[in-house]
Amino acid sequence: MSTITTDYTKDGNEDTMQRGGLSAYRLMHWLCNILQNFFADPINIKDERLKNLLWRQDKKDETKLFAKFDIGTAYAQNTTKANTTPMIVVFVGDTTHDNSSVNRAGGGAIALNGARPMYQGRCTKLIPLNISITTESYDGTLLLAGLIEDFLTVNELQLLEDCRMINSFKVISVTAPKKTDDQNAAKETYQSFIQIQTAGCISWTTDTQGPVFRGIRSSVGISQ
């Protein structure tokens, strides 16, 4: 079996984001890329308080984005991103299935030529996405979470057009900033969570030999 190494962000791999192929992995990385792209241009940040929070002057006296974006868990051990703020992390929740169906697309159980029948299947997936926002102040976390919340809400249709794997994208809730409980952190931080619900589907057609199921036979041993 060959290993799949496709990176959907590379040129020529746009077809991996088409309908009928929803993947939690690709969806998570897509949302992280969307946020990175939005914050990459300071013209998108109208609030001067957020500009001071997100953009810093480096040693060459150039203004650069200081906020870090990550996948999975913030402040992973043995990484250069530990204790970096502001930190925006995208991760997925538990996937659930709904409205599954499999229909026969071919003839009988075995056609005259020995070919197996074709089946068409479709399954709706509900994949929650979560975004954690961490800064060093209550106000900063509240402002940054509100900016991301408004950006995702206002651009819902554009997001669906960009990511054709999904047919639904809804911001469900935003938690109030709370002080983090990380005892290993070198500074006091506040964190807020944005919960998003997405829905899409996977679809397939089988036209080859499927798995072989062996019947169960009872065996009775009689000892002398």
Residue-wise pLDDT tens digits, 118-176: 777 778 899 999 999 998 889 989 999 999 999 999 999 999 988 888 999 999 999 99
- Burial code (b: 16+ CB inside 10 Å, e: under 16) for 123-140 equals bbbbbbbbbbbbbebeeb
Q: Given this model, what pLDDT does residue 60 score?
A: 61
Q: Given this model, what pLDDT does residue 148 score?
A: 94
Q: Given this model, what pLDDT does residue 19 score?
A: 73
Average of pLDDT values for 70-97?
73
Who wins on pLDDT, 101 or 210? Answer: 101
Confidence of residue 90 (pLDDT cuts 50, 70, 90): very high
The predicted-structure confidence for 40-49, as pLDDT tens digits, reads as follows 888 888 888 8
Give the range among 104-113, 164-173, 192-201 with minimum mean pLDDT. Answer: 104-113
Rounded CA separation 199/167 (Å): 6
The pTM score is 0.72
| Residue 2 pLDDT greater than 50, yes or no | no
CA 65 distance to own-chain centroid? 23
Average of pLDDT values for 20-47?
86
Give the range among 13-22, 82-91, 189-198 with minimum mean pLDDT. Answer: 13-22
The domain spans of the chain are 15-108+116-206
Rounded CA separation 31/156 (Å): 12
| Residue 36 pLDDT greater than 70, yes or no | yes
Which residue type does 47 have?
D
Q: Given this model, what pLDDT does residue 3 score?
A: 42
Rounded CA separation 137/145 (Å): 12
Please name which of 91, 90, 88 lies closest in space to residue 189, comparing C-alpha atoms: 88
* Angle of CA points 77, 55, 89, to nearest 5°: 35
83: phi then psi, degrees, rounded to nearest 5: 65, 15
| Residue 1 pLDDT greater than 50, yes or no | no
**178 contact partners, CB below 8 Å, separation of at least 6:** 190, 191, 192
Q: Given this model, what pLDDT does residue 43 score?
A: 82
Rounded CA separation 110/154 (Å): 53
| Residue 21 pLDDT greater than 70, yes or no | yes
Region at 12 (left for phi over 0; alpha for psi -120 to 50; beta for the rest): left
